[in-house]
Amino acid sequence: MAGLFLWFNNQSKHMTISLHEVVPVPLKEKLLKQVSDIWNREIVFTTPEWIKIKAPSGTGKTTFIHSLYKLRTDYTGSIQWGERNIASLNAEELAVLRQQKISVVFQDLRLFPNLTAFENIELNRVLQTPYCEKEQITVMAQMLGVDHIMHQPASLCSYGEQQRVSIIRALVQPFEWLIMDEPFSHLDKVNAGKAAALITAACKERNAGIIITDLHDDDHFDYTRKLVL
């Protein structure tokens, strides 16, 4: 009983993500002709939902991720993190929320080419009060089979290696939501499975939600909801 109460209590603290009739301006004409579970609808994501968004090419998958993370704002409607319309967040507030509540794996990975793989991960760990110990990076790198390239500049790593590094980078910070844009696109099935297991553990530990986009159906996670963009 006490455990259940704690669980509920924990739920209420976590931030929801909601979309209110969001339509990206550049895709407006095209999208309004299609049927979508996301665009131009009222949607609320609540932790610990694990949501799969299947998105055929050209439906605005990356646009959706970037809008959700406030990298772009060229849409109509509104997106809310908790009670706040993210359009109203200033740079400092946005930084705090990105440090504490929302972690991201970009499709284009976005590592610093001049830093080593390890430093890329470490940077995100020390950007705020560290969530985990430094040693944890090596442990995770070993689990994903990238420990041998940890001290190479990121620019010299293969796409598959960079993708795993960027997944680990997303997992060393505190978060309530993990947003991933085709996180396994450069990984084979075995490695994708290892990465999914690591992500699952990290999200369960934080009681965090997942929003993942991909082109195809998959069973990497125990999704609570599957949507089509």
Partner 1 sequence: MKGLNILLRKLIKTGAGRVRFIMAVIGLSIAMVLILSAVQLQSNYNELLRGSGNRDSIANFLVINKILTDQNLKNTTLSDAEINDIKGQSFTDAVGVLHSSRFKASIQSSSTQFPFYTDIAFESVPDSFLDVSTKEWYWDESSNFVPIIVPGMFLDIYNFQFSLSQGLPQLTREVVKMIFFQVNIYDENGMSHSMRGRVVGFSDRISSLLVPQSFMDWANQQYGTAGNKAPSRIIIRTKDSGDPGLAAYLKEKNLSTDQDKTRFSRYRQVVDLVVNISGATGLLMLLFAILIFTLFIQLTISSCKDEIKLLLTLGASPKQIARFLMRQFFPSNLIIITASLAIVCILQYLAHAVLQRQEVHISALISYPTLLTAALVLFFIWMVNLINIRKYIKINH
Q: Which residues, in sequence order, are bridge partners of residue 50? A: 210
Amino acid letter, 44: V
Pick the stretch among 32-40, 51-59, 88-96, 213-221 that binds partner 1 (CB under 8 A). 88-96
Nearer to partner 1, 83 or 92 (CB): 92
Chosen residue from 95, 139, 156, 215 binding partner 1 by CB under 8 A: 95
Chosen residue from 96, 139, 156, 215 binding partner 1 by CB under 8 A: 96
Q: Provide, rounded to whole angstroms, the least separation between the CB of residue 153 and partner 1.
A: 11
Nearer to partner 1, 61 or 66 (CB): 66
In 3D, which of 217, 164, 202 has the Cα closest to residue 186?
164
Q: How far is it, in rounded angstroms, from Cα 77 to Cα 22?
A: 4
CA 73 vs CA 11, 82, 210: distances in Å:
28, 18, 22
* Residue 35 engages partner 1 in binding (rule: CB under 8 A): no
* Residue 87 engages partner 1 in binding (rule: CB under 8 A): no
Beta strands in the chain (DSSP E): 17-24, 42-45, 50-54, 75-81, 84-85, 102-105, 177-181, 209-214, 225-228
Q: How far is it, in rounded angstroms, from Cα 53 to Cα 223?
A: 10
* Residue 174 engages partner 1 in binding (rule: CB under 8 A): no
Chosen residue from 98, 164, 206, 220 binding partner 1 by CB under 8 A: 98
| Per-residue x/- track, 123-142, partner 1 (CB under 8 A) | xx-xxx--------------
Backbone φ and ψ of 216, nearest 5°: -115, 170
Residues in contact with partner 1 by CB under 8 A are 71, 91-92, 95-96, 98-99, 110, 112, 114-115, 119, 122-124, 126-128, 173
